[in-house]
A and B are shown apart, each in its own frame.
Chain A
């Protein structure tokens, strides 16, 4: 990032926001270090896609708004994501403000912390410090550094040892207004043998030149199980950058379910570090490209632990002039004997001008392992359409059934009914 780029914020703005939120000093220092590093570090190097002309730093980072007292007062785009009659554990952030936040008593009694990041920094500062920008270092590249500088919300979720949280915890993030920024930092810590599901959705309202830059850090303790589901439905006026990373201890498991339903340009990197013996990662992604949007979606898993297992399944449907790159990277490190990594990337193209690129990559430094990959880029088969039409189904509906069918192996496996519903809604919206 060259130094002469004019930003719409400075050290004073960052310091002011930090002070206004009574953040601990160490956190402000991290922000300022990020601000400094953002000017020096390069953008992340992406496979076959240049993003230096994209908007990633032209925003006003601290646009605030008032909290609401009832979910009924939230913006319509947010309300559409919520089961309004059954609000239990919910966090809603709009731009740089937490608008709504509710946690049930029984969750608190179990010792679970589910709080807006600002609240957690104030009340559990030392605990947050241990995990903040740890598995995703702030100085990895310009976008992580920029993120650290202007974090304007997010969540801290902590589940003590042996505690199983039976209901999904939900967050909704909204970006709205010209040059608005949504920059949530989410930390999920699941101590040994605990279990939790976190579901978030990203939505946008009216506005031009909006940016979202989010990081999710997940710490899965031994024998713990964490599910993270994210459905992103941001408009074409939003550039979306997301970096999600999990580290998994012995016998732990992380499951990612990602619905990339944005209408705008998107960079998403989803990484799991399988540190412990017999740790497991499942990564499922569905993406739909419309208009002229560009998507660069990377799912990667690093195997360190013996007997660690991973499975990556990515499916994308490209329409109109959309372009998508699906990268799948399975890296098995030396010493990770008996590891097993599987991956598949499939792209279905629906128009002549749509483009798709599936890149399966296996990097294996150990002999005694299993690994496999499959990739395909194809079109809807005329033979299939003919078959469905021969039963009276119109061409239009036949195509639709085939597309939904193509995505179904990912969608159907979503273990949470609510997320499945949201993803299906998003699919309906994108595929029209």
Chain B
């Protein structure tokens, strides 16, 4: 039951609208670990996140992804979620007419299965507690899902969902973009509360500052659709101080984006 979560990405290739974006990416995330993927814009970081979640526009053309011993790539998006994968999205959809709380309860119950639905009282208690942690106003529970939310409010709402759904592997796709420092601290606090031996994190960012608040165990640099360098937290600090050029130089990369001919 409490097997340590394990996400294995082996030599993954993926494309969108015929264009190859992920080109031979390998990575392993286990429960208890926090991995950060950094890299300049256009190197395929967000594509990796969407591909893992199963966005219909992304097509896997090679490699495999094993999640807790199962072939993730054969699972539907909702099956991936119910198996414990979560993606905090950079641009979550706005959906009119569904309140945040109704949506969350449906999602929780989808996971728990018929006959095992969460009691309304327990749900409200949990929701109140987690919204307080994220310093979200109560009114957000009754507003339509992401409709009219500011960028920062959407990000908090993504983290709220993560906290309510208690996934096994959490992917955070540029959760820091558009957040001021106070909001960043609040969001980081929410994430840190979730850290545990039975939960792994994959944090995608191109700023080091998020990593001041969420300390990663591993840092990876992505260029040209794959991981070109991995290290510990000290790697992030060096990137903050010196930028990415030294890596490009070290590896002989001229254009780090996925457009480059490899």
Chain A residues within CB distance 8 Å of chain B: 381-384, 386-395, 397-398, 401-402, 404-409
Chain B residues within CB distance 8 Å of chain A: 53-56, 76-78, 80-82, 86-87, 89, 92-93, 95-98, 102-103, 106-107, 110-111, 144, 161, 165
Which residues of B sit under 8 angstroms from A406, Cβ to Cβ? 96-97
Q: A386-B55, A395-B78 are in contact. List 20 more A-B contacts (CB 8 A).
A: A381-B93, A386-B56, A387-B95, A389-B76, A389-B78, A389-B81, A390-B87, A391-B110, A391-B161, A392-B78, A392-B82, A392-B110, A392-B111, A392-B165, A393-B78, A393-B81, A401-B98, A401-B103, A404-B97, A409-B97
A301 to B98, CA, bound (A): 30
User: In the complex the two chains form, is A387's CB within 8 Å of B92's CB?
Assistant: yes
With known contacts A391-B161, A392-B78, A393-B78, A405–B107 Cβ distance under 8 A: no
CB distance from B80 to the nearest CB of A (A): 8
A383 to B165, CA, bound (A): 20
Which residues of A sit under 8 angstroms from B97, Cβ to Cβ? 402, 404-409
A402 to B93, CA, bound (A): 12
CB distance from B225 to the nearest CB of A (A): 22
User: In the complex the two chains form, is B106's CB within 8 Å of A401's CB?
Assistant: yes
Report which of B89, B110, B111 forms a contact with A387, defined as CB distance below 8 A. Answer: B89
A405 to B102, CA, bound (A): 11
A406 to B106, CA, bound (A): 17
A398 to B103, CA, bound (A): 10
List the 8 closest A-B pairs by CB distance, nearest first.
Answer: A405-B97, A408-B97, A392-B81, A391-B107, A387-B93, A389-B77, A405-B98, A389-B78
Q: List 17 A-B contacts (CB under 8 A).
A: A386-B56, A387-B89, A387-B95, A388-B95, A389-B76, A389-B78, A390-B78, A391-B161, A391-B165, A392-B78, A392-B81, A392-B111, A393-B110, A401-B98, A408-B96, A408-B97, A409-B96
A390 to B82, CA, bound (A): 9
A167 to B95, CA, bound (A): 35
- Which single residue of chain A is at the shortest CB-CB distance from B144? A405
A318 to B114, CA, bound (A): 29
With known contacts A392-B78, A395-B78, A405-B98, A384–B93 Cβ distance under 8 A: yes
Which residues of B sit under 8 angstroms from A397, Cβ to Cβ? 106, 110
Which residues of A sit under 8 angstroms from B92, Cβ to Cβ? 387
Query: How many inter-chain contacts with C-beta < 8 Å in the A-B complex?
Result: 77
With known contacts A383-B93, A395-B78, A405-B144, A390–B53 Cβ distance under 8 A: yes
Which residues of B sit under 8 angstroms from A387, Cβ to Cβ? 89, 92-93, 95
A238 to B84, CA, bound (A): 49
Report which of A382, A384, A394, A407 forms a contact with B78, defined as CB distance below 8 A. Answer: A394
- Which single residue of chain B is at the shortest CB-CB distance from A346? B96
- Which single residue of chain B is at the shortest CB-CB distance from A393? B110
A409 to B111, CA, bound (A): 28
CB distance from B59 to the nearest CB of A (A): 14
User: In the complex the two chains form, is B96's CB within 8 Å of A405's CB?
Assistant: yes
User: In the complex the two chains form, is B95's CB within 8 Å of A402's CB?
Assistant: yes
A407 to B77, CA, bound (A): 26
- Which single residue of chain A is at the shortest CB-CB distance from B107? A391
CB distance from A184 to the nearest CB of B (A): 33
User: In the complex the two chains form, is B81's CB within 8 Å of A384's CB?
Assistant: no
User: In the complex the two chains form, is B106's CB within 8 Å of A393's CB?
Assistant: yes
A336 to B212, CA, bound (A): 64
- Which single residue of chain B is at the shortest CB-CB distance from A387? B93
- Which single residue of chain B is at the shortest CB-CB distance from A381? B93
Chain A CB within 10 A, most for which of B86, B92, B95: B95
User: In the complex the two chains form, is A384's CB within 8 Å of B110's CB?
Assistant: no
A32 to B13, CA, bound (A): 79
Which residues of B sit under 8 angstroms from A401, Cβ to Cβ? 95, 98, 102-103, 106
User: In the complex the two chains form, is A390's CB within 8 Å of B95's CB?
Assistant: no
User: In the complex the two chains form, is B111's CB within 8 Å of A405's CB?
Assistant: no
- Which single residue of chain A is at the shortest CB-CB distance from B111? A392
A407 to B144, CA, bound (A): 13
User: In the complex the two chains form, is A392's CB within 8 Å of B103's CB?
Assistant: no
- Which single residue of chain B is at the shortest CB-CB distance from A400? B106
Which residues of A sit under 8 angstroms from B93, Cβ to Cβ? 381, 383-384, 386-387
A239 to B34, CA, bound (A): 64
User: In the complex the two chains form, is B107's CB within 8 Å of A395's CB?
Assistant: no
CB distance from B257 to the nearest CB of A (A): 25
Which residues of A sit under 8 angstroms from B87, Cβ to Cβ? 390
- Which single residue of chain B is at the shortest CB-CB distance from A407? B97
User: In the complex the two chains form, is A382's CB within 8 Å of B56's CB?
Assistant: yes
With known contacts A386-B55, A389-B76, A392-B165, A405–B95 Cβ distance under 8 A: yes
A387 to B145, CA, bound (A): 11
- Which single residue of chain B is at the shortest CB-CB distance from A408? B97
User: In the complex the two chains form, is A394's CB within 8 Å of B110's CB?
Assistant: yes
- Which single residue of chain A is at the shortest CB-CB distance from B50? A386
Chain A CB within 10 A, most for which of B76, B81, B144: B81
CB distance from A169 to the nearest CB of B (A): 30
- Which single residue of chain B is at the shortest CB-CB distance from A406? B97
A409 to B99, CA, bound (A): 11
- Which single residue of chain A is at the shortest CB-CB distance from B96? A405
User: In the complex the two chains form, is A388's CB within 8 Å of B76's CB?
Assistant: no
Which residues of A sit under 8 angstroms from B56, Cβ to Cβ? 382, 386
- Which single residue of chain A is at the shortest CB-CB distance from B102? A401
A402 to B147, CA, bound (A): 13
CB distance from A214 to the nearest CB of B (A): 30
